[in-house]
Amino acid sequence: MKTTTKEPTATTILDKETFATPVGPLTVALRDGRICGAWFDEMWPGLERALVRRFGAIELRDSPRSACGEKITAYLAGDLGALDAIEIDVDGTPFQRAVWDALRRIPVGATTSYGDIARELGNARAVRAVGRANAVNPVSVIVPCHRVVRGDGDLCGYAGGLERKRWLLQHERAITLSLPA
């Protein structure tokens, strides 16, 4: 009887770095020096599953601070523009990528609405689709989905929780008052 063996699948090596923040640990995954995943710790298992769906077998290796890591550290220390230079490696539909590109154009200290982004992308009726693309953003904070608020300016919808969103916006000086929870 002839036995067949399965070819082993290649494992994608991703570097992993974790950062202490006032609102909990932020963990990032990097491939070839570009961030392909970033989320706060309790959200990390879902992101790790998404990375496996994207890359197949992965191996996460704790790594020393990378150039991206230094920029995240600088951002957390108050250099609010430091994230702008971070390269990302994301996989999404053309529409999702357009939304994520639009998010990266929101200036530090500013907010916008789902409707504003939909209009910027040429389809004012795509508000829910913009919200969904925002919700599946694999590189939270770096692609600043926290800068999107409701059309009336109220905080809404952040997978990491509204307290984190509030902290990020206060850190970036987009809001200065403590808003009710």
Q: Catalytic residues, which ones?
A: 145
Which candidate, 42, 37, 28, places its Cα nearest to that of 55? 37
